[in-house]
Structure 1
Amino acid sequence: MTSTASTASTASTTAPRPEAPVVRVGDHEVGAGQPVYVIGEIGINHNGDVEIAKQLIDVAVAAGCQAVKFQKRTPEISTPKDQRDKIRQTPWGEMTYLEYKYRVEFEHEQYTEVDQYAKANGIQWFASPWDVPSVAFLEEFGVPTHKIASASVTDHDLLRALADTGKPLILSTGMSTLEQIDAAVEILGTEGLVMLHATSTYPLPPEEANLRTITTLQERYGVPVGYSGHETGLQISLAAVALGAVAVERHITLDRAMWGSDHAASLEPKGLANLVRDVRILEQAMGDGTKRVMPGELSPMSRLRRVDA
């Protein structure tokens, strides 16, 4: 990807910029004027079970999502050293945090099943690699893009490995300052880059959503900007679309009561279907901003307007 070292950190946060380019992600175009790119974030909500992953793919397909996303880690690299030996209670018994990370991690055999299943059902899949070896692992499957998790914004070795793939990239911006995002963009460049505004609070309270940051990111970097949400409910995600988000990512689950750290802030099947339905209605409702008499107004106008201009 092309570096923007000379422009990213100096771009004005207030001066208007040309409309951001459209980024092609596999068979889909992401950007202004395109259908909102809806990503069902499976993450590790499969709890290490490929059959649950397949059911979640089914949920995303039925709802009308364009993509599902997973997380890929090399646990001995990505697990903080001070956390590895901590004991965790799990559905599979008591184990260390590192053992738990391995227990829920998919390897090549499981991802081969995921790859085949997603393709057979006509939906894109990709993942957030949390370390450099995971980038190479995902490249073996020819994923259409890589998602950069908010926690990885400052991992410059990982960012360089991702930039070297030449793939379009999706950068989540939670828990990050503008200066940290500037430094990431210096490495990634803006060509083929999609940003997601995010707040990494689980679940997200409305007062921390800060949705106007969508406009801030659009104006500062000149790239398509979407929204990655961790709230309960649909309102904040829909408001993000109304504010111009070109993509929406939400965690999905079969049941919010399932065991695991992300289930409580996830959408169940009905909620996901309602989100996609309402996003598509919003797309039609936003219009082009030109004030004019609409076709449906002609009949009421002839009945109700007493004085013509």
Structure 2
Amino acid sequence: MNSLNREMIIDGKVIGRQQPVYIIAEMSTNHGGSLTRAKEIIHAAAECGADAIKLQTYTADTLTLNSSLPHFQLTDGLWAGQSLYELYEKVAMPWEWHQPLLEEAQKANITLFSSPFDRSAVEFLEQLDVPAYKIASAEIIEVELIEAVAATGKPVIISTGGAAIGDIQRAINIMKAHDNPNLCLLKCTSAYPAPYDSMNLTTIAHLAQWSGCPVGLSDHSLGISVPVTAVALGACVIEKHFMLDKSHDTADQAFSLDPSEFAQMVQSVRQAAMAIGQVDYPSTTRMQRAIYAKCDMPAGTILSRENIRTARPGGTIAPRHFNDLLGRVLRQNIKAGECLRWEMI
């Protein structure tokens, strides 16, 4: 395989530059340890207009070591004051929830897939036959993980936050080596929340041209302005963290959207995509002028400034031909207000 596909399909929906923007609601830790809330999030995401809901499949042991050494401790940011192991153990979604959540997504008519974080998670998700895989930004250097998802032959979405161009190329090479051309890359800034001046959204167009595959945005900024801007710059996928209520205390609360905000983002993204349209220079509009008869005129009348003029709305003969008509003779009778046509002269 020499190249990646410019479009790919997840659960019947085509993803690509000329297709409707594919919108992913990231549940992440916002289930808050409640299966009931997780199911409610799925239905809320569907009602907001998301195309997909995404989970994360890991355990504390698959991500880190249970160690008290200093470099395993979080000392700043949203999650300061605990170790990596403590954080992941607290927020991880139980694997036995995946099947009932998949069934709930089917009821809600929304696609569900997940981000695995090691081979065991891929094997587990394959048993559930999820339709696609998402690789988190930090895992783009995890070669065995990318090999595992590439080998499934299913569409793969990879976030690029913190990745050098060589890391992205390596991931692409792995996809090609497994003869899997269905890759989408997401521009991402790995900060939580991400400052606006760190987004560098012009990277989207460069990444799309360089890779030849669909490119989108995984967004951790506040609000909805960055996703809308990203769509204007060519993003064909938007991923945004989603929660039921901002009052819920979750690890991702600070940079997640609630249903009202998410629905507004979906609407704004759809409107931005429609407004982009295509290259178009319309030849005429009704707000332009044409040449009209100022009065009733019989055949044989010589046209002059006294009996013709330009006026709205636009019509057959454009104003630039006004001087060409002066001194010409009518072939037929015309009435006042009639729009001149060449066959009349």
TM-score range relative to shorter protein = 0.7 to 0.9
| Secondary structure in 1 matching 2:44 | helix
Asked whether the equivalents of residues 74 and 134 of structure 1 are also in contact (C-alpha less than 8 Å), the reply is: no
Q: What aligned pairs does 1:113-128 form with structure 2 within 5 A after superposition?
A: 113-128=100-115
Separation in 2 of the partners of 1:87 and 1:174?
20
The residue that corresponds to 2:161 in the other structure is 174
Separation in 2 of the partners of 1:106 and 1:140?
17
Asked whether the equivalents of residues 54 and 117 of structure 1 are also in contact (C-alpha less than 8 Å), the reply is: yes
- 1:303 aligned residue (312, 334, 342): 312
- 1:210 aligned residue (195, 200, 213): 200
User: Does residue 160 of structure 1 match 2:150?
Assistant: no
Look up the equivalent residue of 2:48 and give its one-letter code. Answer: A
Look up the equivalent residue of 2:260 and give its one-letter code. Answer: K
Asked whether the equivalents of residues 173 and 196 of structure 1 are also in contact (C-alpha less than 8 Å), the reply is: yes
Q: What aligned pairs does 1:79-118 form with structure 2 within 5 A after superposition?
A: 79-82=64-67, 98=85, 101-118=88-105
Separation in 1 of the partners of 2:142 and 2:17?
29
Q: 1:96 to 1:32 in 2, by over 3 A?
A: closer
What TM-score do you get using the length of structure 1 for normalisation?
Answer: 0.85
Q: What aligned pairs does 1:288-299 form with structure 2 within 5 A after superposition?
A: 288-293=278-283, 297-299=285-287
The residue that corresponds to 1:17 in the other structure is none
Asked whether the equivalents of residues 172 and 196 of structure 1 are also in contact (C-alpha less than 8 Å), the reply is: yes
Separation in 1 of the partners of 2:134 and 2:192?
19
Separation in 2 of the partners of 1:136 and 1:24?
22
Displacement of 1:100 in angstroms is 5.1
| Secondary structure in 1 matching 2:282 | coil
Q: 1:291 to 1:43 in 2, by over 3 A?
A: same
The residue that corresponds to 1:141 in the other structure is 128
The residue that corresponds to 1:32 in the other structure is 17
Separation in 2 of the partners of 1:285 and 1:226?
18
Greater relative CO (CA pairs within 8 A, separation 6+): 1
User: Which of structures 1 and 2 has the bigger CA Rg?
Assistant: 2
Separation in 2 of the partners of 1:228 and 1:57?
19
The residue that corresponds to 1:267 in the other structure is 257
Q: Runs of 5+ in structure 1 lacking a partner?
A: 9-19, 89-93
Displacement of 1:260 in angstroms is 2.5
| Secondary structure in 2 matching 1:68 | strand
Look up the equivalent residue of 2:162 and give its one-letter code. Answer: M
Q: 1:200 to 1:251 in 2, by over 3 A?
A: same
Q: Runs of 5+ in structure 2 lacking a partner?
A: 76-80, 290-310, 322-345
The residue that corresponds to 2:300 in the other structure is none
Asked whether the equivalents of residues 286 and 313 of structure 2 are also in contact (C-alpha less than 8 Å), the reply is: no
Question: 1:182-228 deviations in whole A, cap 9, x for unaligned?
Answer: 11211123710011111111111111000000011111110010111
Separation in 2 of the partners of 1:279 and 1:44?
25
Asked whether the equivalents of residues 257 and 264 of structure 1 are also in contact (C-alpha less than 8 Å), the reply is: no
Q: 1:173 to 1:87 in 2, by over 3 A?
A: closer
Separation in 2 of the partners of 1:110 and 1:27?
25
Question: 1:242-270 deviations in whole A, cap 9, x for unaligned?
Answer: 01100100001123342222111111111
